[in-house]
Structure 1
Amino acid sequence: MRQAERALFDLRRGVPVLLADAGSDTLILPVEALTDDALADAQLLTGSVPQLVLSRHRLASLGHLISDEAQALTSTGVTDSALLRRLASARDARLPDGLRRAPASAAAAAALRLLGRAQLLPAAVAFPVLSARAALVAGEIACGNLLSVSTADVLALCDGGHGVLTRISEARIPLADAEEARFVLFREADGVREHVAIVIGEPDDWAEPVPVRLHSSCLTGDLFGSLRCDCGEQLRRGVAAINSQGGGVLLYLSQEGRGIGLANKLRAYALQDDGLDTIDADQVIGFGDDERDFRIAHQILDQLGVSRVLLLTNNPGKIDALRHAGINVVARQAIYGDLTSQNQRYLETKARRQGHSLGELLGMRPLADGAGRA
């Protein structure tokens, strides 16, 4: 498992990783940092033709519906890194003629899951290692130039959630809307992300069920007041609502962009500027409509001793996901931001395509420019 965790950091640095599966080895390069030199080096090392591995979401955006989670695309004529990056994420890309498509190998499919966990584009270039090059590859591993990890370990890491969360530190942080607040920081086992529980009031004084909001981090909205979403207002109003009910917990989860990360969220924003809604934009770059893992919330609430929850949310799907993760959601309470001309389409998409309960908010007149936002 430790090797799989190390592989996360190598991939984020653009360094290739070798995945071993049932006697076969596959060299994996993340498309996000792909260069012509890296492609040439990988082909020389492995002796094989590159395979572009794409998720079913990306292939659907290209007009190809598949039942598998991923496919491998092979063409002896596609060896240009810029073209491979376009095929992985450009809205107007088209698959070249003569491209052979086949179900991704176990190693290649596992690589996409690892890239998603690393919050990189879920697209890889895979090079099966030919038997004639096995000794050369083994030498690279032996001298420390290449990390080898088993496909089974990668899948165990991805299937096992985020491991045991460790409670690291805490401090009293008086807030404008909740003076009696304490921040408790939790770190994931692989060290990639940290999450904060904002504990409001005294647990002995909390109502039953405990008011709880799960808030996924949104740098653009929470910190900079972006008008594209209502996240910043939901964050602050969530704190105020919990405080007004005698206290509870707001979980600030490091799940930017519904779990795809800030870099990918900005890619999706650029696609939205070209006319796509938030769900279709995520699909173009290879993601589903929600990549979050709410088992994290269950672990944190368990450590805080919270077993029954009044959930502040507009998303019935989140309630189902939390219950599936093991959280006893007793009731729901709506929590709105402001409707503006800039975020109206975003909120309408969430209501229409994801079932968010936003009818009351969407029935209001939008603010023209976001004036009056907190």
Structure 2
Amino acid sequence: MQDVERAIFDLRRGLPVVVDAHDGRRLVAPIEGLSPELLTDLFNQAEDAPRLLLTNDRLRYVNQRDHASAASLAIADTDTREQIIAWACAPEAALPATRPLHELTAAERAGLDLAHRSLLVPAAVSIAPDARCAPQLEACVAERQLLAVAAADVARHRAEAPGLLRRVSEADVPLEHARYSRFVIFREPDGMREHVAILIGASEAWDDPTPVRLHSACLTGDLFGSLRCDCGPQLRASVRTIAERGGGVLLYLAQEGRGIGLANKMRAYQMQDDGLDTVDADQVLGFDKDERDYAVAREMLAQLDVSHIELLTNNPAKLDALDREPIRVAGRSSLYGNLTTQNRRYLTTKAERAGHWLDALLASPDTPPD
């Protein structure tokens, strides 16, 4: 499993990885690390035409029709790096109409999954190495200059990751609206994300069901007070509300930008400035409208021995995701942030396209910015 975790970090560094599967070996390079030199090397080492791997969400946006699964597009030696990157993540790009899409091999599916989980743009270039390059490739793998992973291990790592969450440290941290609170830090097995459980008040005094809030990290809103979202006010309202109710748990999850990461969130923001809404902007980059996985939240609560909860949320997806063994959701309470001129469009999109329960907030007049 350590090789899968290292593969994620190698992709984040812009390095290709080798993926082995029952249907063959593929060398997979992330789009974000695609330099002209690397593209030339891929062509020189390829048995046939390299392929651009695209998620079903990206294909759905580009082709304006449903795609049940990810697919690949053959790359010609006349295609430039800039064209390939545009096909992967530019709003206005159209795929070459004369080139068919191909079903992904098992190795390509695993490689695209790794790129997706690395918080890069979820697109990659894949080649089947030419036989004449096999000795050199094997030497690079043997010397660990290139990492080789099995597609089966990639799938197993994803399935087992929530159960491998580790509770690594904790300490009391008094907060402005909750003088008695304790921060408990959990780390995912690949080391990329650390999540925080904030235990507010004395656990023996908590209500049954226990008030619980899931809050996804938002650097711009939580720390800098961005007016583009309501995250910062929601976070502070969560702490205050839980404290006023005698205590409970706030899970602060490292799932920036609904799970796409900070860099991709900024890319999506730029597209929103150019006219797209938040859902379409994420789809341009190849993401679903919400990439968060709440299995980690269930595991955190289980390790904290919290199983019967009242969820503070406006998001039906959180309600559905949490109400599974070993967690039972007894009820829900709404929790609003501030409505501003700058975030009204964003919140309206969440209500209309993701089903968030925000009617009461959106019916109120804009709150003028500070």
TM-score by length of 1: 0.96
**Aligned residue in 2 for 1:168:** 168
Indicate yes or no: 2:303 matched with 1:297. Answer: no
Write the distance in 1 (CA, Å) between the matches of 2:149 and 2:205: 49
Partner in structure 1 of residue 206 of structure 2 = 206
Q: Deviations over 1:124-177 (max 9, x none)?
A: 000112333322211221222211001111111223344411111111111001
Q: Percent identity?
A: 48
Q: How far does residue 323 in structure 1 lie from its aligned partner after superposition?
A: 1.8
Partner of 1:61: 61
Instruction: Tell me the equivalent position of 1:261.
Output: 261
Moved more, 324-333 or 164-173: 324-333
1:1-374 matches, cutoff 5 A: 1-22=1-22, 24-63=24-63, 65-324=65-324, 326-368=326-368, 370-371=369-370
Give the 3-state SS of the residue equivalent to 2:288 in structure 1.
coil
User: Would you say the 8 A contact 2:46–2:128 is kept in 1?
Assistant: yes
Is the CA contact 1:201–1:248 (under 8 Å) kept in the aligned structure 2? yes
User: Distance between the aligned counterparts of 2:23 and 2:97, measured in 1?
Assistant: 32
Shift of 1:111: 1.5
CA contact (8 A) 2:234 2:336 kept: yes
- Contact kept in structure 2, 1:69 and 1:109, CA below 8 Å: no
The answer to whether the Cα contact below 8 Å between 1:50 and 1:127 also exists between their aligned partners in 2 is yes
- CA distance in structure 1 between the partners assigned to 2:216 and 2:328 by the alignment: 19
Q: Using the TM superposition, name which of 175-184 and 318-327 deviates more.
A: 318-327
CA separation in 1, counterparts of 2:72 and 2:325?
32
The alignment partner of 2:323 has SS state of: helix
Label 1:109 to 1:68 Cα distance change in 2 as closer, same or farther (>3 A). farther
Secondary structure at the counterpart of residue 296 of structure 2: helix
- 64-73 or 291-300: which moved more? 64-73
Cα deviation 1:323-364 (Å, max 9, x = unaligned): 247521110011001111000011111111111111111110
Partners of 1:158 and 1:74 in 2: CA distance: 28
Q: Distance in 1 between matches of 2:315 and 2:66?
A: 28
More displaced stretch, 150-159 vs 252-261 = 150-159
For residues 33-89 of structure 1, give each alpha carbon's deviation from its aligned partner in whole angstroms, at most 9, with x where no partner exists: 211101112232344321000001001111153544211100324542221111111
* Structure 1 residues 289 and 326: alpha-carbon distance in aligned structure 2, compared to 1, 3 A threshold: farther
In structure 1, distance between residues paired with 2:17 and 2:325 = 31
Contact 1:29 1:124 in 2 (8 A): yes
Within 2, Cα distance between the matches of 1:219 and 1:39? 34
The count of aligned residue pairs is 370
Letter in 1 for 2:283: Q
Tell me how far apart the structure 1 counterparts of residues 316 and 308 of structure 2 sit (CA, whole Å): 17
Distance 1:275 1:107 in 2: 37
- Please, which runs of 5 or more residues in structure 1 have no aligned partner? none
Deviation at 1:98, TM superposition (A): 2.9
Q: Which stretch has the larger CA shift, 22-31 or 214-223? A: 22-31
Partner amino acid for 2:24?
S
Distance change in 2, residues 1:212/1:186 (3 Å):
same
Q: Deviations over 1:175-195 (max 9, x none)?
A: 001000111111111111100
Q: CA deviation at 1:221?
A: 0.3
Structure 1 counterpart of 2:304, which letter?
Answer: L
* Superposed displacement of residue 280, structure 1: 0.7
Q: Is the 8 A contact 1:18 1:27 kept in 2?
A: yes
Call closer, same or farther: CA 1:104–1:23 in 2, change over 3 Å.
closer
Q: How far 1:99 sits from its partner (Å)?
A: 2.2
Cα distance in 1 for partners of 2:352, 2:274 equals 20
Aligned residue type for 1:177: H
> Contact 1:68 / 1:103 at 8 angstroms: preserved in 2?
no
- Asked if the contact 1:45–1:136 (Cα under 8 Å) also holds between the matched residues in 2, the reply is no
**What is the DSSP-based 3-state SS (H/G/I as helix, E as strand, rest coil) of the residue aligned with 1:62?**
helix
Q: 1:325 to 1:55 in 2, by over 3 A?
A: farther
* Alpha-carbon shift at residue 321 of structure 1 (Å): 1.6
Q: C-alpha deviations, 1:260-304, integer Å up to 9, x for none?
A: 111111111111111111111100100001111111011111111
Give the superposition deviation at 1:234.
0.4
Moved more, 34-43 or 8-17: 34-43
Q: CA deviation at 1:214?
A: 0.3
8 Å contact from structure 2 (residues 22, 106) kept in 1: no
CA RMSD, 1 decimal: 1.4
1:323–1:209 distance in 2 versus 1, CA, 3 Å: same
1:212 & 1:64 partners in 2: Cα distance?
39
| Worse overlay, 105-114 or 199-208 | 105-114
